[in-house]
Amino acid sequence: MFRVFSCLTEEHDWHLVLLAGLVCFLTSLAAILLFRRAGAARGRIRAFWLLAAAAAAGCGIWATHFIAVLAYQPGVSVHYDTKLTILSLVVAVAAVSTSGPLIREAAAPALAETKGSIVNVTSLAGIREVGSSVPYACSKAATNHMTELVAKVLGPDVRVNAVAPGLVDTPRSATWEAARQHYRQVAPMQRGATADEVADAVLYVAGSPYMTGEVLVIDGGYRLVR
């Protein structure tokens, strides 16, 4: 979990990593601008701009991940099936194209009527340079940014926040002894979070009537230590 720096410097092509970052920035910017157009439009024109924004986001997510995968140099020969690669792009665009408008058009009115809230669960990897996967960290950073954008669009009737845990003690992380030992030595709380503590943070954010557009980090103070 804590070998991102060496992974980037020794096992990745920096040119492709920078290209992935540039693609992520440009497609995110395009999606934001298109989303703003949708907010100012009505009827079918609004639906068109929403679909365009979702398509831009889907292509950006796919391209960022795929270029980051190409940047990784594991030391063995890697091949990609053309048909499956194209299918993965179609799935990415379709998923974002359907989820974005559905949330905005279908879920938002119901949430607004009940003064509901959306809580995304992301990760400390989307805020700091931690985690074992560059694409994973990039996707969590994108979710954090999306949280802020959607909070701006859906307010004041719907609040949108996120909870970003660091190391969490689960059956899956039970074998991550190096990460657990590092947390015990470095984090002010000297341990990872429990699943119940993360759930408590989600409940707090969901029930806070004035909080919106925030990413609540729950990492036992790990982010304070460089």
Task: Summarize pLDDT for 198-219 with one digit per residue, the tens.
Answer: 999 999 999 999 999 999 999 9
Locus of tokens 């984090």: 187
136 catalytic? Reply is yes
Q: Name the residue with tokens 């559905």.
A: 102
| DSSP for residue 192 | P
Active-site position among 72, 80, 136, 210: 136
Indicate the domain borders of the chain.
Answer: 1-114, 116-226
- The pTM assigned to this predicted structure is 0.58
In sequence order, which ranges of the chain are alpha helices (DSSP H)? 4-11, 14-40, 43-71, 82-101, 108-114, 134-154, 177-186, 195-207
CATH topology of domain 116-226: Rossmann fold (3.40.50)
What tens digit of pLDDT does each residue of 143-198 get? Answer: 888 888 888 888 899 999 999 999 899 887 888 888 888 888 988 999 999 999 99
Residues whose CB falls within 8 Å of the CB of residue 205, separated by 6 or more in sequence, listed in order: 117, 119, 161, 162, 163, 211, 214, 216
Separation of alpha carbons 120 and 195, rounded Å: 15
